[in-house]
Amino acid sequence: MRILFLLLISFSTIAQDLYNFENSKKYGDYLLKSGQYELAGKEFERLVYFTPESDTLKTQLLKSYRLSNQTNIGIFRTKQLYPDAQTIPFAPALEYAKLLMQNKDWENARTFWTNNQNFKPDDKTIFNTTSEIFNNDFKAARNSLENIQNKEFYVAEGYKTILEKETHKKSPALAGIMSAVVPGTGKAYSNNWKDGLVSLFFTAGMAFQSYRNFNKHGVNNYRGWLYGGIGFGFYLGNIYGSVKSTKDFNKKKINKLQHEASDIFNSYY
C-alpha cells in the first residue's frame, strides 16, 4: 500500500509526458540527425498534425521523405500541404524542388520553380542548370548559366568550371579507328593501356600463328584458317572494346562532374 502511494505521488509530481509537442520535436530532430529517416517521417507527420501552420516542420517532414527515398509520398504530401504551388515558402519549396529532381521529374521540376514566387531569378537559373547537368544535357546547362545576374555567385562560378571541364571528352570514333589501324591503341587512348597491350598481344599472336601455319601447311589446311578466325574475332572485339572503353571513360568523367555539381549545390542550398 505504501509503495503504491509513493508511486502515485512520484508519477503525479515529477513524471513527464513523452508524447507532447516539445518532446516529440526533440525526438523527430534526433531521428533526422541520426539518419533514421523513415521513423523521422512518421514523427514529423504527428508534429505537422499538431501544428499545421508551421513551415519548418513541414520542411523537416519533406526532408525525411526525400532522404528515406520515399519521393512519391513526399511529392504527394507537398501537394496536400500546399495546394497552391506558386506560393510555397522558400524552405519547403526548396525541399519540393529537390524531391522532384530526385524523382527525375525534370519537366514538372522546371515548371514548378519557374512559377514559384519565392525563388529569386538567380535561384531559378541555378536550379535549371543543376537539373540539366544531372540530366546529362550540358549544352542546355551552358545556355541556362548565361542568364545568371550575379556573376560572382560562387555556385555559378563552380558550375562554369564544371561545364568547361565537360568539353575535354575523348572521341569513341577515333578510338575505334585507332584500334582498327593498330590493335590496342584505342584502349591506350582511353587510358587503359594495359588492356590495350594485352589486346595487341592476343591479336598479333593469332595473326602470327595464322601466317606461320599458312606458310607451313598451305591455304588448304584448316590450321591457318582456325588461327586467323580466332585472331579476327580478337581484332573485332578489340575495336568494340576500344569504343566502349572510351564511352565508359567519358561516362565516368561526366558522372564525376555531376557529383562535383551536386556537392556545390548542396553546400549552398
Q: How far is the CB of 222 from another protein (least distance, A)?
A: 19
Q: Contact, 210 vs 228, CB < 8 A?
A: yes
Q: Which is nearer to another protein, 121 or 233 (CB)?
A: 233
Which residue type sits at 39? L
Cell representation of residue 117: 514566387
Distance, C-alpha 143 to centroid of its chain: 21
Q: Which is nearer to another protein, 125 or 258 (CB)?
A: 258
Q: Which is nearer to another protein, 89 or 237 (CB)?
A: 237
> Helices (DSSP H) in 51-89: which residue ranges?
55-67, 71-81
Q: Contact, 133 vs 141, CB < 8 A?
A: yes
Q: Contact, 242 vs 186, CB < 8 A?
A: yes
Q: How far is the CB of 168 from another protein (least distance, A)?
A: 18
Q: How far is the CB of 67 from another protein (least distance, A)?
A: 7
Q: Which is nearer to another protein, 57 or 200 (CB)?
A: 200
Q: How far is the CB of 2 from another protein (least distance, A)?
A: 55
Give 3-state DSSP helix, strand, coil % of the chain, rounded to 5: 80, 0, 20
Applying CB under 8 A, the residues found at the interface with another protein are 66-67, 69, 98, 101-102, 104, 134, 192, 194-195, 198-199, 202, 233-234, 236-238, 240-241, 244, 248, 251-252, 255, 258-259, 261-262, 265-266
Location of C-alpha cell 555567385: 153
Which residue type sits at 171? S
Q: How far is the CB of 80 from another protein (least distance, A)?
A: 23
Give the dihedral of Cα atoms 55, 58, 64, 66; nearest 10 deg: -90
